[in-house]
Copies of this chain bind each other. A is one copy, B any other.
Amino acid sequence: MRQIHICEVGPRDGLQNAHHLMPTEAKKAWIAAMAAAGIAEIEVGSFVPPKLIPAMADTAEIVAFALTLKNVKTVALAPNVKGFERALAAGAQKITFPVSASRQHSLANVRMTPEQMADEVKKCVQLRGKVGPEIEAGVATAFGCTMQGEVPEDDVVRLAVRLAESGVDCVALADTVGYANPAQIRRIFRRVKSEIGNKLEAAHLHNTRGLGLANALAAYEEGVRHFDSSMGGLGGCPFAPGASGNVITEDLVYMFESMGVSTGIDLDKLMEARKLMVAAIPEEPVYGHMALAGVHKGFRAAA
């Protein structure tokens, strides 16, 4: 039935960059509403030091709550071995690591080179052993970097291969800062896929320059079936005030469903979940065309 898989990253990528803190109980209600709308995978938080990112301080509690929900995979981000151990202890079903392809960004962000960070992921794969959660490595800044500008495509391909060989279950390519264009999406996804095959899974796209849906379309046409997105484009972009953040879940669902590509998500229920989010942090800027225009007359969801 479900032809593409959307992982909602709003509770993590969105709230991490938002200007307002969402109370823990409101997060739970929001996540439950999104699960009820049919979102099958939710990145609910990040195991980073709470002092650094207070919005993520309740991640263990949120993971525990999400695990009580039916039909939803509970995903958490870990930036290193320490975060991984916390995510394991909390019981996250999938743990995702951001590994920046931009040397400058990686050094500034985690004080490790991309290669050192890949080794950190490898350690976690070994720590997990034979049972344990799914592990994803996301190649961050794969399409450009606010510090370094261009990120050589060869660096992206090399890093993706290294991560795939380290034993992760899947690799994502992330347009962390909204630099990608559709031609580049096609080119890089194609190159990485030819190297690591089906281990290449998700596209994590941002909408900073309005190309989020066009890039998602290009990725889809290159065979991508897993997309990260965030409700309301929550969180914006720290480098472009006023610009939206991740590609917007509601609009992404509308695009694919209109095309006849099933997401498994009920758009009406999704809009109800959006209301919960807006009510919980009413002054936070949110984005999206569905909230303004609604679906077109005669819209039919994909079968």
A contacts, CB < 8 Å to B: 144-146, 149-150, 177-179, 181-184, 207-211, 213-214, 216-218, 237, 240-244, 248, 251, 254-255, 258-261, 288-290, 292-298
Assembled-state Cα–Cα distance A214/B181 (Å):
11
Of the residues B146, B255, B293, contact of A243 by C-beta under 8 Å: B293
Of the residues B208, B209, B218, B255, contact of A181 by C-beta under 8 Å: B255
Q: Which B residues are in CB contact (< 8 Å) with A146?
A: 297
18 contacts between A and B (CB under 8 A): A144-B296, A144-B297, A146-B297, A149-B297, A178-B293, A179-B296, A181-B259, A182-B255, A184-B258, A208-B293, A209-B254, A209-B296, A210-B213, A211-B251, A211-B255, A211-B258, A240-B292, A240-B294
Chain B residue nearest to A289 in the complex (CB) = B210
Q: Which B residues are in CB contact (< 8 Å) with A211?
A: 213, 251, 254-255, 258, 289
Q: Which B residues are in CB contact (< 8 Å) with A183?
A: 258-261
Of the residues B217, B218, B293, contact of A237 by C-beta under 8 Å: B293
Assembled-state Cα–Cα distance A207/B254 (Å):
13
CB-based contact A259/B182 at 8 Å: yes
Assembled-state Cα–Cα distance A181/B295 (Å):
12
Of the residues B217, B248, B288, contact of A182 by C-beta under 8 Å: B217
Minimum C-beta distance from A58 to chain B (A): 31
Chain B residue nearest to A298 in the complex (CB) = B149
Assembled-state Cα–Cα distance A254/B261 (Å):
28
CB-based contact B178/A296 at 8 Å: yes
CB-based contact B298/A251 at 8 Å: no
Chain B residue nearest to A210 in the complex (CB) = B289
Chain B residue nearest to A288 in the complex (CB) = B210
Chain B residue nearest to A254 in the complex (CB) = B209
Take A217-B218, A237-B293, A243-B293 as given contacts and tell me if A209 and B251 are in contact as well, using a CB distance cutoff of 8 Å: yes
Assembled-state Cα–Cα distance A207/B288 (Å):
11
Of the residues B149, B214, B292, contact of A213 by C-beta under 8 Å: B214
Chain B residue nearest to A259 in the complex (CB) = B183
